[in-house]
Structure 1
């Protein structure tokens, strides 16, 4: 039923891939020889060829992110040029393009809306890849695609290497006395009979010191290391920008931002800019007040020259002072397995899906695998890998592996996905105890996963997250996030890992009240990232200095706290330089309008566990994948257009 995760033959991946792609080429040649091409005899098998290729490649690329080693990097780098050349060849094959156009013009009226959507997307993507251009231009696009793939991987690898290279060792207990016991235990080691503490740039360790580290000098040391890591990425960014600019000019677009919107819900560049600027201007006054509140707390410690590396430390003190909210107090109540069990219970109540532990192998002993079922029928599988490791790249993400679809011989294939996080590690003595912010991240990534796994669409190219416009793909993830702040939802899993006592109402109220703590500062931060990303791709910025000047200009208008000059945030902005968010980072905020508006329907219904509404959301949004544009699906669910005020209200920016 499911393909097992097995990479025993990893070293031979390049050879296996080459054979698979040669077979694909033969199959495509055979398809092109069909005289009377139809959707059934041409488009369906063409989609299957693409799906089978992804099924093989996804674990190879995935393992490089979650179990990085010399072997995984070598295999990744061997496979990249092979798959890049193949994908370019396919996407620029004029015969396939003409066949798809021919089927669309002759058979459109006999096809379903979903089948027409597949054709519409494919024909658009063939145009965007330059299949209609002369051969010399196609050749140059192929070279650019390969180089961009290599640069993207190098960018990520540089960050991972830099993260693993840095260590800050402290032997003075006074410098670590405020750090929570669970974090201190992970940092502690003995050397020559002396107890010392080691902090790294891995997120749980970095956050522990920047948030609770008593020594201002040490906070600056780790902050500076974090925001100056991988300086060689500056030159990689220059090359990425030049290549992307060259690529879109060949394709006839004014800029990469213009090109990016061809596959998005937003239709005009000025719509994106004005949307972000409106959010930024509405949040700025309150953000100034929020910063002032932090500075006042710092001033009590005699800190007059308040700096960026003081933000997290004094924000935490302010949070405790304002809300009596201490993130560490809650961690014993958010033991990883307890959270998962309660979360699964909630998802069953909302969407009528059950999670059952699967007896199968994964890439690490800490990975948990579950089969999803609906009305006792297995429908999907999910791999959950939550704990930080030295060989895992930072951040959290969802990866789709298999899609739900019907094959050309009528068999239904079941979907699979991976959720990856970098949460606190478990040891033999202590289980993995999450922060509430980790719980929020888990809900977010599960939102992505369910969007993929609950698909009922039978065409692989628009099933699950395939074919979903990039600026709406965050809608289901952010929507599910909001439930992680609800009292009744939290009570399903917020249980002390030793006493099994459920977190009381007063403590949960603190989490809810603290939700919008510094929400205006957070909004401005996202606006800054999104404007920087989008404007960066509106024209060609050629040098590191020009890129920095653009970032400074945006900060001058929107930031209320300007970071030190040595901060090179852009060199670690992997979302846009090694992820898929180039000229699309605005998607987080764009989609959040939909998420907040949909969530308000549950609030307005008076029942957060409104199963009728939950099933409607599952059936009108999640199960439909990319088969229709999200604005249509959103309207089907809400019966109205989205309203930006829902987001501003939910963030506490307006009342």
Structure 2
């Protein structure tokens, strides 16, 4: 039942995709001609056409991110107009809309499918005059192209830069494992090359002793892809126009139409309230950093100093350095430990399988419950040149039941950019990397554990965007707990367990400079949301960001900082007017964590309920209702303050 991963024949794109879409259109036309229209005979086969597209196209989109090349780019870009036209045509089809209007689902999941479909038809302009429909189609196509161009510009700019360091004094203090990866030769002598790929970039920003070189690297990072400024302007114009065509005052209102947050004021109020709680703590944190920098003769702490002095302060105050953890977190052992932990939490198992993959370092496992295989997961965890930066989970197959009653399994990809392994050195993770892996695994099991029979609300499909981070944040909280770490934290050379003192320091470091981190996320979230509350263009965008930084950035970034050029979440991803979702969902994840983990002990009854009500039921009901069914109450906002030790902030 699993579709094997095979590299697409790039030369057949877009023709093969076009043929599939035409076949789907013919199937849908036949469905509309049937006089009998009930859920099983109409909606189920309609949803199956979407699964066919995902099964066919997802491998290409995936390869364009993880093994990017001219061939993947050309095939991907040639496909975008076809997909955009196809989905717009369906979403604006009045006959389809009327067919769904006549159908009543037999259970809560089916009813939710119908509700969401009718909502999405309206949000796609199904009721609009033909001229406006055509304009929406043009906008959607152009936006998909612009998102891709933004992402490609960022990848190209990241790969184009390198900093060559020749003086050994300028790399003193940089961990040996990072130096080994940076080491290269120039004119017969050893030098060190640092790039803008995150493992390399963060290694020098965190440990590099030469302040001028840190600034040089930082400047290159925050001024990447200047071509993206024009793309940003056009994206914002098109989003604003789209919202107005659909009857909204601005794009943020359109964005909230499919989210938990009820209105703009709720989002802005939530973020400002959290900022007010964090500010007093952040001011004290900055004072400590500034005092430490002054000991080195630095009178004014700059953005390119923050990671360096944060690490020094952590070392001084907690006697803790992230590099102390790296020898204990060999990638393969961490992954196996995570799989074992998830297996015990939820009563399943992961079985390694030998199947086709796109890179020799990819690992694949089948998920089994009571001896039956129900899902498959692919892990691609190491950084490489032609791989998009960051970490993400991408769904491929979705668990569902088709019109004939046949059950289809789920599959997903987990992608990270950890320090790559070499013949001489294994891939060793910092604890932050361990947290990232737990986070993405939380997304994956949300998709893979689904037992929902209806594809459109199964797994992560149909989940409100400001709730979708809940399961990922929930799982990452366990990555700080001793009872979890001791499962896999062993020295990669000696096999000795991580000392208890070091595990305690990891837990203590969880909220180290946490208020500064919260303010940074709020700055991003407010910038994103306010950017979509009216039309900003050109210098107005930077002016908005500067205004927010005046209040929230206690260490002001240099005037050359153009963070927005690299803000892929909102200009190349799905987070436009939705970046606040990370903090919104964290209210749920914090409350859920405290409900399930009490005084170092996992409450199995609560965890069983979490699996049943949250993970297995996808979007068969709105998240607020599923949460209330699980715990008998809504989420407690105070849990977020408790998670960050900000209870006494005011």
Q: Residue 636 of structure 1 aligns with which residue?
A: 629
The answer to whether the 8 Å contact 1:400/1:418 transfers is yes
Q: Residue 570 of structure 1 aligns with which residue?
A: 564
- Does 2:301 match 1:306? yes
Shift of residue 570 of structure 1? Answer: 0.6
The answer to whether the 8 Å contact 1:351/1:611 transfers is no
Shift of residue 375 of structure 1? Answer: 1.3
The answer to whether the 8 Å contact 1:11/1:75 transfers is yes
Shift of residue 215 of structure 1? Answer: 0.4
Which of 116, 123, 132 is the matching residue for 1:128?
123
What's the CA shift string for 1:303-362, capped at 9, x where partnerless?
Answer: 112111010001000000011111111111000010011111111111112111111011
The answer to whether the 8 Å contact 1:350/1:610 transfers is no
Paired with 2:108 and 2:609, the residues of 1 have a C-alpha distance of: 21
Paired with 2:605 and 2:357, the residues of 1 have a C-alpha distance of: 36
The answer to whether the 8 Å contact 2:290/2:300 transfers is no
- Does 2:82 match 1:68? no
Q: Residue 385 of structure 1 aligns with which residue?
A: 380
- Does 2:148 match 1:148? no
- Does 2:322 match 1:322? no
Shift of residue 18 of structure 1? Answer: 0.4
- Does 2:473 match 1:478? yes
Shift of residue 610 of structure 1? Answer: 3.0
- Does 2:42 match 1:42? yes
Shift of residue 556 of structure 1? Answer: 1.4
- Does 2:586 match 1:584? no
Q: Residue 6 of structure 1 aligns with which residue?
A: 6
Shift of residue 501 of structure 1? Answer: 0.5
Q: Residue 599 of structure 1 aligns with which residue?
A: 593
Paired with 1:174 and 1:499, the residues of 2 have a C-alpha distance of: 31
What's the CA shift string for 1:6-49, capped at 9, x where partnerless?
Answer: 01423213111000001011001100101121111111110111
Q: Residue 167 of structure 2 aligns with which residue?
A: 172
Q: Residue 419 of structure 1 aligns with which residue?
A: 414
TM-score (norm 1): 0.98
- Does 2:348 match 1:332? no
What's the CA shift string for 1:135-159, capped at 9, x where partnerless?
Answer: 1111100100110000000000000
* 637-646 vs 231-240, which moves further: 637-646
Q: Residue 520 of structure 1 aligns with which residue?
A: 515
The answer to whether the 8 Å contact 1:372/1:380 transfers is yes
SS at match of 1:470: coil
- Does 2:288 match 1:293? yes
- Does 2:614 match 1:621? yes
Q: Residue 445 of structure 1 aligns with which residue?
A: 440
The answer to whether the 8 Å contact 2:596/2:604 transfers is no
Paired with 2:78 and 2:188, the residues of 1 have a C-alpha distance of: 46
- Does 2:53 match 1:59? no
TM-score (norm 2): 0.99
What's the CA shift string for 1:466-519, capped at 9, x where partnerless?
Answer: 000000000000000100000010000101111111101101000000110011
Q: Residue 182 of structure 1 aligns with which residue?
A: 177
Paired with 2:147 and 2:606, the residues of 1 have a C-alpha distance of: 41
Paired with 1:566 and 1:638, the residues of 2 have a C-alpha distance of: 48
Paired with 2:245 and 2:527, the residues of 1 have a C-alpha distance of: 24
Paired with 2:420 and 2:98, the residues of 1 have a C-alpha distance of: 53
Q: Residue 558 of structure 1 aligns with which residue?
A: 552
Q: Residue 195 of structure 1 aligns with which residue?
A: 190
Paired with 2:323 and 2:164, the residues of 1 have a C-alpha distance of: 22
- Does 2:276 match 1:281? yes
What's the CA shift string for 1:573-625, capped at 9, x where partnerless?
Answer: 00000000000000000000000000001233x45333332221111100000
Paired with 1:116 and 1:39, the residues of 2 have a C-alpha distance of: 10
Which of 481, 486, 493 is the matching residue for 1:491?
486
* 635-644 vs 474-483, which moves further: 635-644
SS at match of 1:472: coil
Paired with 2:33 and 2:329, the residues of 1 have a C-alpha distance of: 59
The answer to whether the 8 Å contact 2:367/2:374 transfers is yes
Which of 242, 250, 253 is the matching residue for 2:237?
242
SS at match of 2:602: coil
The answer to whether the 8 Å contact 1:349/1:611 transfers is no
User: Can you give the 5+ residue segments of structure 2 that lack an aligned partner in the other structure?
Assistant: none
Paired with 1:474 and 1:349, the residues of 2 have a C-alpha distance of: 22
Which of 375, 395, 402 is the matching residue for 2:397?
402
Q: Residue 32 of structure 2 aligns with which residue?
A: 32
Pairs aligned (count): 648
Paired with 1:6 and 1:401, the residues of 2 have a C-alpha distance of: 13
Paired with 1:319 and 1:241, the residues of 2 have a C-alpha distance of: 40
What's the CA shift string for 1:80-128, capped at 9, x where partnerless?
Answer: 011111111111111101110122xxx35xx211111000000000100
Paired with 2:241 and 2:522, the residues of 1 have a C-alpha distance of: 27
The answer to whether the 8 Å contact 1:464/1:625 transfers is yes
The answer to whether the 8 Å contact 2:8/2:60 transfers is no
User: Can you give the 5+ residue segments of structure 1 that lack an aligned partner in the other structure?
Assistant: none
The answer to whether the 8 Å contact 2:3/2:55 transfers is no
SS at match of 2:173: coil
The answer to whether the 8 Å contact 1:479/1:599 transfers is yes
What's the CA shift string for 1:354-375, capped at 9, x where partnerless?
Answer: 1111110111111111111111
The answer to whether the 8 Å contact 2:303/2:558 transfers is yes
* 92-101 vs 6-15, which moves further: 6-15
* 379-388 vs 608-617, which moves further: 608-617
The answer to whether the 8 Å contact 1:519/1:653 transfers is no
Paired with 2:243 and 2:407, the residues of 1 have a C-alpha distance of: 38
Paired with 1:332 and 1:377, the residues of 2 have a C-alpha distance of: 36
Which of 258, 261, 267 is the matching residue for 1:263?
258
Within-5 A mapping of 1:83-94? 83-94=83-94
Shift of residue 289 of structure 1? Answer: 0.6
Alignment RMSD, CA only?
0.9
Paired with 1:339 and 1:68, the residues of 2 have a C-alpha distance of: 27
| Structure 1 residue ranges (4+ consecutive) displaced by more than 6 angstroms after TM superposition | none
- Does 2:17 match 1:17? yes
Paired with 1:16 and 1:49, the residues of 2 have a C-alpha distance of: 15
Paired with 2:590 and 2:633, the residues of 1 have a C-alpha distance of: 14
Paired with 2:307 and 2:546, the residues of 1 have a C-alpha distance of: 22
